[in-house]
Chain A
Amino acid sequence: MAFLLRNFQKSNLPMWSYILKRILIAIPLILAMALLTFLLMRLSPGNFLDTIRMDPQISQETIERYQKLYQLDKGPFEQYLHWIKNLLHCEFGYSFYYNVPVSRIIGARLFNTFILSFASFLLTWFVALPLGIWAALNRNRWIDQCIQFFSYVFLSLPSFFLAMILLYWASQLGVLPLGGMHSPNYDQMNFLGRTWDLLKHLVIPTLALSIGSIAWLQKIMRGNMLEILGQQYILSARAKGLPENQVIYRHALRNAINPLITLLGYEFSGLLSGAALIEIICSWPGLGSLMLTAVRSKDIYLVMASMLMGGILFILGNLLADLLLAKVDPRIRYEGR
């Protein structure tokens, strides 16, 4: 206990103050994003009630009742204040299109997007790092040139095109399900069956999302490794007589990975945004496709909540990146005072 206390007081104070600072900066950013989202929705002409007004079966009284219920008759500033107040109670408003409170839909969709992003993130990092290291170790041999060529191709390929091609191949092979997240008989499966079903559905969207990132990350890893391998201390480690794999994995690799740690957080937050288009194409029920439906049907509260969610996750991802950087790079801790 005393040991923990001592550790906490001695070296972690600059780090905790840095963390606190980053969190405090994040809060006004989130508020600013809420304001921006709200302004955008106010700018958008027409609201959900316009479509209902067109319907002759719905009476004027019902429309007026809806207006009072959703505060659509009050001024923009009052609507905004009302919305912020609700946000603090974790109430995101009501979705006109789905006829349920927004919080119910967002939760599930957020989780789905998270599954996809996480799977893509794992695939990217577990493939790109070894690939980059291998390419660096076999520099300029034919395998390296092959990898670099394919990296270039996949970097330039738009991810939605890749998704389309993958869907087409899958339809030819007939093994993988083509989009969606659950098979029709999902509810009747046991736990193992459900997991297997989920994995099968994950394959195409994850591949489409990851391949571009793998290409990019592999390039960076290879560049870092090559730079480190050219350093003096690697030369001295070899001269000392260390076995080659110790030189590479214990000394070179640790230093090469350092700069990539920051990328980890930023990439995670970027994944949520990049997943949106793939979700739409592969019919994956996530936050991105929800946003699209909401935008198309002018469902104000749903759009605002989705965008706010996306923004918050992005900020959290960046925060994670900053924290990881602080942990890994001691210079940041002491500068962050």
Chain B
Amino acid sequence: MKNQSLSEFQIALGNFKKNRWALLSVYIIFILYVGAILADFLSPYSYKNEDRKFSYCPPTKIHFLKEGKLSWPFIYGVQLTFDEYHKRVYKINEKENYPLHLFSRGDEYKFLGIIPGRLHLIGTSQPARFYLLGADSRGRDLFSRILYGARVSLSIGLIGVLISFAIGLIVGGMAGYYGGVVDNILMRLCEMFMMIPGFYLLLALRSAVSDKFSSLQVYFAIIIILSFISWASLARIIRGMCLSLKEREYVLAAKAIGLTDFKIIVRHILPHTLSYSIFALMLSVPGYIIGESALSLIGLGIQDPYASWGNLLSDAMSIVRIKFAPWILWPAFFIFLTVVCFNVVGDCLRDCLDPLLKSEKKIS
């Protein structure tokens, strides 16, 4: 039938699409995630590729005009010198001129960990270095490191949120459904977790994790720790919703058929909490990204040589460095952009799904 009535979700989605800012944010998030996945290809250099001759090199200017005529983009070579205050000055040498190559052969990588490749989107010929956003202390390209860092920061946001939501939904669902002693115990547990100041717990848990862990293990440990400190508030709210949802007739019908408690919770009650869960999920991702950045910033998170946005910012903790190399603040801009986008999407989802929530409450 052509004129089928739309479900409430579809109406909400339609409303969502009408909001320009929300759509823009979704596109930006999508671009960031694609950039993270294709980091190997999109970045001119590997995250490890260092060249100490270009330490703290400012961003390279791309020139399009050669002797007044439009030409293929090129860059000039730079030479490191020191001025009379022993400050680094990069003198541009206009005699050396290096055109940019598209789809050039560069550092080796393994796409998705299995497919080896050497293709990079942009590159130049040696010995020039193309620094889109400048270089860090070891001459590593900041733009490449930001792309590789996006992998860590964005994935921690996503995976951490999913884990804490799984825990929160199950605990909240059980507490709300069973009520009584189970509810009491679980809620006291939640309160205990909410009582401890988050950052302190983060530090303490991180110190409990062994120093001898490999980077991958530290990565998973951080995800688990971040989920650990954040599941409690969600569990409380889900429990409140389940307390009212379990009085509905279809739950009684399901019990009469003989469905097990677990199936009732998972298949019948929890889906109705979805409208709250989705936007709460979106609104908590920024917390995880900032949490991981904060940990890496103080040196307890992802370590060198691996990149994460927080890790890259630990360089920026010194004011002297910011003054003479302000481009090292670029990772913070990316963090900010991601957080703004997730906040906008979350807010818009909440506004769209609000009537859904209200109707849930009315029927009960």
Chain A interface residue count, Cβ-Cβ cutoff 8 angstroms: 48
Interface 0/1 of A212-250, CB less than 8 Å to B: 000000000000000000000000000000000000000
- Are the CB atoms of A156 and B195 closer together than 8 Å? no
Q: Is A49 an interface residue (CB 8 A)?
A: no
B293 touches A281 (CB 8 A): no
In the complex, which of the residues A29, A40, A156, A167 contacts B204, with contact meaning CB atoms closer than 8 Å?
A40
Within 8 Å of chain B (Cβ to Cβ): is A83?
A: no
Interface-located stretch among B63-71, B249-257, B266-274, B332-340: B332-340
In this assembly, does B84 line the interface, its C-beta being within 8 Å of a C-beta of chain A? no
- Give the contacting residue for B298; candidates A157, A270, A292, A315; CB below 8 A: A292
- Tell me whether A311 and B294 are in contact (CB under 8 A): no
Q: Is B180 an interface residue (CB 8 A)?
A: no
Decide if the interface of chain B is mainly helix, strand, loop or mixed: helix
Contact A273-B319, Cβ < 8 Å, known A44-B208, A157-B336: no
> B262 within 8 Å of A by Cβ?
no
B316 interface hit (Cβ, 8 Å): yes
Asked if B237 is at the interface (CB within 8 A of a chain A CB), the reply is no
> In the complex where A29-B192, A164-B332 touch, is A274 in contact with B208 (Cβ < 8 A)?
no
A312 nearest in chain B by CB position? B195
Q: Which of B199, B200, B300 has the most CB of A within 10 A?
A: B200
Chain B 337-354 per-residue mask, 1 if CB under 8 angstroms from chain A, else 0: 001100100000000000
Dominant secondary structure of chain A at its interface with chain B: helix
User: Which of A158, A171, A315 counts the most B-chain CB atoms under 10 A from its CB?
Assistant: A158
- A172 CA / B320 CA spacing, docked (Å): 11
Residues of B within 8 A of A280 (CB): 298
Within A22-78, which residues are at the interface with B (CB < 8 Å)?
A: 29, 32-33, 36-37, 40-41, 43-46
B356 within 8 A of partner (CB): no
Determine whether B83 belongs to the interface, using a CB cutoff of 8 Å to chain A: no
- Inter-chain CA distance A32–B188, complex, in Å, is 11
B203 at the interface (CB under 8 A from A): yes
- Inside 8 A of B326's CB, which chain A residues have their CB? 168
With A273-B199, A273-B200, A280-B298 known as contacts, the answer to whether A164 contacts B207 (CB < 8 A) is: no
- Tell me whether B126 is interfacial, beta carbon within 8 Å: no
Contact indicator per residue, chain B 170-195, by CB within 8 Å of chain A (1) or not (0): 00000000000000000000011001
Whether A295 contacts B339 by the Cβ 8 Å rule is no
Asked whether B290 is an interface residue with its Cβ less than 8 Å from the other chain, the reply is yes
Least distance between A47 CB and chain B CB atoms (Å): 11
Whether A158 pairs with B208 at a CB distance below 8 angstroms is no
Which residues of A are in contact with B by a Cβ distance under 8 Å?
29, 32-33, 36-37, 40-41, 43-46, 152-153, 155-158, 160-161, 164-165, 167-168, 171-172, 178, 269-270, 272-274, 276-277, 280-281, 288, 291-292, 295, 298, 303, 306-307, 310-311, 314-315, 318
Given contacts A29-B192, A311-B196, 5 further A-B pairs with CB under 8 A are: A33-B192, A33-B196, A36-B196, A45-B212, A164-B332
Sample of 10 A–B contacts (CB below 8 Å) = A155-B343, A156-B343, A164-B332, A291-B203, A295-B300, A306-B200, A307-B196, A307-B204, A310-B196, A311-B196
Binding site for A on B (CB under 8 A): 191-192, 195-201, 203-208, 210-212, 286, 290, 293-294, 297-298, 300, 313, 316-317, 319, 322-323, 326, 329, 332, 335-336, 339-340, 343
